[in-house]
A = this chain, B = another copy of it.
Amino acid sequence: MINFAEQKLFKMKHLKQSAFLIASVMMLASCIDKNRKGTHEQSEKTESISKKYWPNGARLVISVSMQFETGGQPEGAESPFSGTPLPKGQPDLAAESWYRYGANEGIYRMLDLWKKYNIKVTSHVVGTAAEKYPEIARAIANGGHEIAAHGLAWDNQWNKNYTDELHFVKDGVDAVEKITGQKALGYNCNWLRRSPNTLKVLQELGFLYHIDDLSHDEPVITKVNGKNFVVIPYTLRNNDIVNIEGKHWSPDQFLTQLKFEFDRLYEEGASKRRMMSISFHDRIGGTPAMVHAMEEFIRYTKERQGVVFMRKDDIAKMVMNDPATPVDNSEEKYNN
């Protein structure tokens, strides 16, 4: 039995991607299959799992963002040392070593974790980071993860005009594609801050979705120049940089946050489409304590059936032409 969402998939305009899509549905099916085994609450829960909101009986989709930024940071970039900045031109060697941790340890540790649990994530790769550490960008791509765009450099784009912004995005995509062979379909701005033109720029460049929107717990469609553009919800709530570096949480608080968030969204997943977003940055989420917390969380989700970890491009393709996807045109004044 194939439900509407899968049927939709085969009708999508981007037919060249259909092999990809079939693979993604297969992956989804196989993930769910794994989740089916050995959960003690299986019998009582089975009937409450909706077949409607996600393909193949998935009840909650979790999508992890893994930012790869290290090496692309400007002088004086935010770090535990940047609160008392050194004079311009003086190298802040301790801060630089803090960043390098993301390249030396962070990304590889996370890749090990994703591999152990067969999770595919979306990696937002800064162009200059990939140029500085091409072997890391390739390791991410080779792990089956999505290479999404995160700008050419670690820089504001809300203040650029249309042309400059387009070049900034395109140059980043091209740089990363040259290294990884993957062309980004999704976008994440520096600190989520878009310009009013960003979605038009992205659409012009062939992107399917962006994530710099916090207004939903599920993907939505927004019209850009009259065509569907997908908004995959991002998160500050389950975001390592916000909570660990910004709010000064300890990793156990982060773990409990994930569990609380999961418990509620999983419950809601019985009656509507729900998606949970998690964000890990190379030098912050990639520390031993945070990867330990994440592993504990992954194990926690395994106690429930119907939980699926997905890349954001796969999600975007699934929902893009699905009439059940909510349409939100809150920003239409900018997008026409």
Interface residues of A (CB under 8 A from B): 80-81, 86, 90-94, 96-101, 104-105, 109, 158-159, 189, 191-194, 196, 212-217, 236-237, 242-243, 246-254, 256-257, 260-265, 268, 276, 287-293, 295, 328, 330-331, 334
Number of copies: 4
Kindly state the separation between the CA atoms of A86 and B191 in the bound complex, as whole angstroms. 12
B196 and A91 contact, CB distance less than 8 A? yes
Taking the closest CB of chain B, its distance from the CB of A131, in whole angstroms, is 16
Q: What are 24 inter-chain pairs, A to B, with CB distance below 8 A?
A: A81-B191, A86-B158, A90-B158, A90-B159, A91-B334, A92-B193, A93-B193, A93-B331, A94-B191, A94-B193, A97-B213, A97-B214, A97-B330, A101-B214, A101-B215, A104-B328, A109-B268, A252-B253, A252-B260, A260-B292, A263-B288, A263-B292, A264-B295, A276-B288
B242 and A251 contact, CB distance less than 8 A? no
A248 and B251 contact, CB distance less than 8 A? no
Contact status of A251 and B257, CB under 8 A, knowing A216-B101, A291-B264: yes
Contacts of A80 in B (CB 8 A): 236, 242
Contact of A212 among B94, B196, B254, B334 (CB under 8 A): B94
Contact of A289 among B99, B237, B293, B330 (CB under 8 A): B237
